[in-house]
Amino acid sequence: MANWKANRTLLIVGEGADEVAFLNHVKQLYAPRGCGLAVKIKNAQGKGAKHVVEWTVRQAAIADYDIVATLFDTDTDWSPAVRKLAERKKIQLLLSEPCFEAMLLRVLEQHPSEGSAALKDQFAPFVSQDATNSQNYAEHFGKDALEASRNSEKTIDWLLKLFDF
C-alpha cells in the first residue's frame, strides 16, 4: 500500500463543542479521506473570542499547518486587539455574528431570536436537540444548504473556501 501524504494541512479551532460538531460535519462533507487535505479540528472550550484566538495561537505553534482558522462568536470579548493578534499570527477568522446559533439559523433562512437562551431554543430542533453531535447537522446543513447560503452568510463562504483546492 502506498503512503498517502496530505497536499495541504488545515487546523480549525472551534470555540466550543457545538462549533466543533458543526466543523466535523463540514469536514465529512468537504474533506473525505484521500482528498489531499488533512483537517484537524480542535475545541478551545469557550471563554470568549480573546481566549479562543490565544488558544489557537498556541495550538498552531505545536505543529506546522498550511492554514489555521478559528470559528467563534463575536458577542463575548471580541475587540480590535484580538483581530490584530489573529492577523499577526495569520489565523483566518470565521466570525459567528453575534453567535453560532444565529449564523446557522440564517443559513436556514430563519429569523434569529434575541438573546442567547432564546437562540439556543430556536436552534435546537434543527439539530435534534443536541448541537454537540456532528451527525445531527446532516439533515438541515447538507451541501445544498451550505452552498446556497454562501452569498448571504460570508462566514460560511470563508469556511468552505478553506476546503477548496
SS3 157: helix
**CATH for the stretch 8-162:** 3.40.50
pLDDT bin (cut points 50, 70, 90) of residue 1 is very low
Percent of all residues in the chain with a pLDDT value above 70, rounded to a whole number? 96
User: Which triple of cell numbers denotes residue 109?
Assistant: 433562512
pLDDT of residue 62: 93
The pTM is what?
0.94
pLDDT of residue 6: 55
Each residue of 47-76: pLDDT tens digit?
999 999 999 999 999 999 999 999 999 999
Check pLDDT > 80 for residue 21: yes
pLDDT of residue 79: 96
pLDDT bin (cut points 50, 70, 90) of residue 129 is very high
Q: What is the mean pLDDT of residues 98-123?
A: 94
Of the candidates 140, 112, 116, which has an alpha carbon nearest to the alpha carbon of residue 126?
140
How many whole angstroms separate alpha carbon 39 and alpha carbon 140?
23
- DSSP for residue 127: G
Check pLDDT > 90 for residue 144: yes
